[in-house]
Amino acid sequence: MQALKRHRDAVQAFSKALKNKPDYHDARALRGLAYAQLGERELAHEDADSLLDGNPTPYIHYQAARIYAVTSHKHPADAKYALGML
């Protein structure tokens, strides 16, 4: 299956979901991932860091690590953070 690569559309959809339910962690993680794939590192990291606020579960650490792993393609230092979260 080929990805549609409609990351901007994904950001809009997940942003809308987060307006209705700000604690929807999966939407925040997927929006952060879409931002990362668009090369919008700061916005991606904001979502990742927001996921880690409070008392994150191992699943949340994994989701944040995915975001940092994608941004590490252009910013290799982010790989250290991704591995640390795992």
Q: Model-level pTM? A: 0.90
The mean of the pLDDT values for the chain is 92
How high is the pLDDT of residue 2? Answer: 44
d(CA 56, CA 52): 6
Angstrom CA distances, 52 to 45, 59, 60, stand at 11, 11, 7
Residue 1 pLDDT > 60: no
Q: Is the model's pLDDT at 44 over the cut of 90?
A: yes
